[in-house]
Amino acid sequence: MTSCINTTSRTKLRAAAPCNRRCGLGPVDSPPVDSFALVLIAGLAILVLWVWILGRANQGRGMESFGLRSARQITEDREEMEAEDLAQMLEAHNARRRRRGEADVTVADLERRVMEDFNEQRRRREAYLADRELDELLEATNARRRARGLPVRTREEVQREFGTGAPGGN
């Protein structure tokens, strides 16, 4: 078989057309390739047209036609159900309180109680973190004092010196 590596100019390539045919390097403008390209372009055009027509036919319906809901609708429905649940639970709680002869609880009372519980939880967390921070500082200080040969400091000494700055301190 002859070598068909062409590094020549275009005019020389045209003159060497018999070599191109022997190596299988024929022209690209064959009828099967042209018809395939036309079929692909026509198929793409039909697909775009079909999507456009589908969009115009279902205008305004959006995801509802597929049985889907928007995130906003889902959130609104969830909030509505939670409000209904709260009303039902509060009514059942008040019914038990009425049977015992106690006063009814309103939503405002319930919200106030939740806020009080939340504030108490936050206060306890801050006290815990302050105690933990004091312990860590004492540990670091005492390590330096031991290295220098000084006596260690206790929590009580620090609290006497600086006061119980931590809420709920010991």
From first to last of its 170 residues, the chain has per-residue pLDDT tens of 455 554 555 555 555 555 555 555 555 566 667 788 889 999 999 999 999 998 887 776 666 666 778 888 899 999 999 999 999 999 999 999 999 999 999 989 989 999 999 999 999 999 999 999 999 999 999 999 999 999 999 999 988 888 765 444 44
* Euclidean distance between CA atoms 9 and 130, whole angstroms: 84
Is residue 1 in a domain? no
Cα 20-24-26 angle, rounded to 5 deg: 65
pLDDT of residue 30: 65
Number of domains in the chain: 3
pLDDT of residue 67: 73
- Entry pTM: 0.45
Is residue 21 in a domain? yes
Nearest CA to 2 out of 22, 25, 21, 26 is that of 22
Q: What is the DSSP letter of 62?
A: G
Q: Are residues 94 and 147 in the same domain?
A: no
Residue that terminates a domain, selected from 105, 122, 157: 105
Domain span including residue 111: 107-170
Contact 105, 94 (CB under 8 A): yes
Q: How many CB atoms lie within 10 A of CB 46?
A: 10
Q: Are residues 76 and 56 in the same domain?
A: no
Is residue 4 in a domain? no
**Token pair of 95 as six digits:** 């019914």
